[in-house]
Amino acid sequence: MRAIMEMGYQSPTPIQQQAVPIMFQGVDLVGQAQTGTGKTAAFGIPIAERVDGSQRYTQAIVLTPTRELAQQVSAELSRICAYRGIRVVTLYGGQPIKKQFAELERGVHVIVGTPGRVIDHLDRGTIQLGRVGIVVLDEADQMLDYGFFPDIRRILRYVPGRRQIALFTATVPTPIKNLIHNYLHQPKHIQVGATAKPVEEVKQLYYEVADRDKIAGLTEVLDGGEYDQALIFCRTQGRVDMVAERLGRRGFAIQGIHGGLLQKQRDAAMNAFREGSLKLLVATNVAARGLDIPAVSNVINFDIPEAVEDYVHRIGRTARMGREGTAITFVSEWDLPAFEAIRKHVGAEKIERRELKLYQR
């Protein structure tokens, strides 16, 4: 395909090699893979081939857990479908609904959206899913975490009984197994790599630091300048604001994103980071979930995540598509139990200890 070549794809990734043929067969699919493996193209290429751009009705829907991931998936699908006359529309909260009405009135072939906003449009009668042939549930485990499963079940009642469902997830807890059992028909299962383990291309480092010294430690690491773009994770919205404000005062070009900001603020920060004009982005787990920005060379855990799987998902933001990357974790006196669980999961030898100069004076 011309669009695929222009996007720089040279050879399919393992998830694409396995998922694309199944998607073309039209059978249900459960794809279990680490983040950054090329999942969007794995379902995007079959969508581009199977959707008929000459028709005006909606033929495929992709559900994602966050607004940012919906925007990202929509942008990539639009590029994949560029020469096929296929219209992709993104539906998510925080965006003026009248603008979405206008987009939908022009006709839409593929909907990419968050479950809540899709339900809103279904209730208003502004979208029709009665002829949808492909349903994609992307990052299904995170949609479970955010409480979207009732919405998903409701949405699935609007689509025909004869449709293909492709579910992509990093983990398969019991509620997802139940969803698969109840809504997917004899699905084919594929798994790429060791689930919930960091990719080998990520170099993992950690620094022991008092919580009160974290800003000084982060400043020291960033002053080293060995990064193209860095994504910094904090535990709370307040911590995101604090890090962005204090590093900004130190002269760093940095912005923060979290659910408490206006959508236009989040969009502006994400666009600047995606385009490369912004080198530092600080975020919460939710705001950054699923984002694929290949130029991210470093992930920094300013605050250590409470769950091991969140650590894996966070550091999966770097070393995308086979590139190398570095993950740095600051471990304070309060973080030791969580950090020991991480070390046990990924292997203590995988995370190299470094020492900050501020403790060498």
- In terms of pLDDT, which residue wins out, 255 or 267? 255
What three-state secondary structure class fits 53? coil
Q: Is the pLDDT of residue 288 over 70?
A: no
**Nearest C-alpha neighbor of 266 from the set 240, 304, 228, 227:** 240
Domains 2-192 and 202-359 are alike in CATH topology: yes
The domain ranges of the chain are: 2-192, 202-359
Question: Per residue in 31-83, pLDDT tens?
Answer: 987 666 788 999 999 999 999 999 999 999 999 999 889 999 999 999 999 88
Question: Per residue in 207-243, pLDDT tens?
Answer: 999 999 999 999 999 998 778 899 999 989 999 999 9
Residue located via tokens 């979208």:
127
Q: Is the pLDDT of residue 5 over 60?
A: no
For 81, phi then psi, to 5°, come to -90, 10
* Distance of alpha carbon 328 from alpha carbon 221, whole angstroms: 9
CATH of domain 2-192: 3.40.50.300
Q: What is the percent of the chain where pLDDT is above 70? A: 92
Residue located via tokens 């020469």:
83
**pLDDT at residue number 245:** 97
CATH class of the domain whose range is 202-359: alpha beta
Question: Per residue in 139-196, pLDDT tens?
Answer: 998 898 788 999 999 999 999 999 999 999 987 888 899 999 999 999 999 988 654 5
